[in-house]
Amino acid sequence: MMKPPQNFIDYLKAYDKDHITEKQKVELKTEELLLNPSFTKDNMMKKSSAAANLANWVINVVAYNDIYVVVEPLKQAA
């Protein structure tokens, strides 16, 4: 999946962040991942810059989707 690295980057860029399922978000919002206060880009940077950037991507994609599922129906209604 990660070889060549550009394929992985392209996959992340093309990821359908508008249609993350609630089941997927429940699986991510656990004490081990997104609800863990130490799961941050800064903390991950101490381990690996690649891991830090991937963690940051996950955090932000889920945050984006949380907003999207509220705003999109309002946009459609307007």
Confidence (pLDDT) at 1:
58
Q: How far apart are the first and last CA of the chain?
A: 41
Cα–Cα distance between 72 and 55 in angstroms, integer? 25
Confidence band for 77, pLDDT divided at 50, 70 and 90? very high
Contacting residues for 35 by C-beta, under 8 A, at least 6 apart: 29
The yes-or-no verdict on residue 2 having pLDDT over 70 is: no
pTM: 0.86
Tens of pLDDT along 24-67?
Answer: 999 999 999 999 999 999 999 999 999 999 999 999 999 999 99
